[in-house]
A and B are shown apart, each in its own frame.
Chain A
C-alpha cells in the first residue's frame, strides 16, 4: 500500500484554523444572540387568518368563556378549533351580512372547512395534551398569554422544551383551581408560590419530566 502524503495545500490548514479560532467568540456571540432571540423561538408569530376573528372582542369585551368554542379542551389532547357551526350559532343573527364573515358562510354553504392557520405549532415529535394541563389547573393564560386582549392571536410564550421543563419542575407558579383555568384575570390570593404549593399538594400534581412524557 502506498503511503499517504498530504498534498501541498494542506500546509495552509494552520492558518485557516487560526483564523477560525480567532473568529470563534464572534461566532458564539452571534449564535447565542440569534439562537435565543424571540424571533427564533417564534414568540410573536402572528400569521394572518382567513377571518379577522378578534379574541379581544369575543373573549375580552363580550366575555365569552374560552370553552364556549374550544370545548374539547378538558377531554382531548387538542383544544379543538370550533366547527363552522359554532360561529353560526350567533352569526346567523349577529352581522349575518358582514363581508368579513364571508369565508364562514362559504364554509357552511359548501361544507368545506375554513382554513385557519396554526399559531401554536409544536414540533411533530412532541405529544402535548391540553386535557392533562387544564384539568390539573394550568390556566390558558399561562401558555397563551392574554388572548382576551389580542386582536389577532400571536404566540406569547417560547414553547421551547426548556420552557416546558421550567414549569414541569416547578409547577407551583402556574397552578390555580381547575375551575379558574379560563379566567384571564385570575390572581392568586396572597403568595402565589405558597398558594400553588397548597394546590399542588391538594390535587396531587407531580408533573413527570421523563422523555416519554412528551416524546414517544
Chain B
C-alpha cells in the first residue's frame, strides 16, 4: 500500500531524510518510532505529499507522491501532531466541510457525515461547537475530518500526546476498528506502550535513516527469559553469545534477556549450564517482551556496532 523508495529530503542546512526505503502492506498499522529529530514527522509529511522530496519517491496505493501529489491527497488522511479545528463550527459543520473539501457532493456528504459521526462516537455532541469539546473528543473529531472521505491510508503523528488514559484507550479502539475496515495506518509516537496495543509492524528511524523494520509479533509479545546474577560478571554477554539455541536480546554484567529454542527443558539446561560456568544465578524468570524492549534492543544493537 505504501512503498517508500530511496527517499531523501533536505532542509536548507541539513539532510533530514537520507535514502529512506521501506514498504507497508495493506491493512497494516505500522508504528514509526525513533528519537526526537530522527525525521519521523518529515517522513510522514513527504508521504502525505505536503513536502517535495529532494530525490527518491513514495508510492501510495500505486500513486507517486512526486508525480501526482494531489491524487495522493485523495487517498490519504493525515492527522498532525499539532492539529487545528475550526472552533466556531459545530461538529457536523466540521465534518460536512471535511467531506466537501475532499470532493464529496450532495447525498454523499450527508452519508459520509453520518458514518463518520458513528465511527468517532460523537453523535451525541454533533451540535456542539468544536471549541466546546474535551481534548479527547477534539482528537476524535480531527481523526473524523481526516477519514470523512474514506481514505485508504491514514497517517497519524503523535496522536496520543496530551490525552488522558481514557481518551488513549478510546483512540486505540478507534485505530483498531479502522484497521479492521482495511485502512492502512502509519502511527508515529513516543508512547511505545500505547503503540503496542494496536501496531502490527515497527519501523525504527534514527538520524534520517531507517534503522530497522520488523513485525511487532517478532519484537514484542513473545516469551523471553530474564537471567539475573547475584554478583556482576562481565563474561555473561560473551558466554551467552556462544550458546546455541539462545537468542540474546539485551544484556549487561548483571542481567540478560534471551529467547530460547525449545520448552521447559531448554530453560532447565540453560540454568544448569550457567551455574556450571560459574555464574551466580539468582533466577531465570519468564516474561513477555514489550515493544519498548524490542525498540531499545534495536537501538542499543546499533550503538554496540
A and B interact: no
Binding site for A on B (CB under 8 A): none
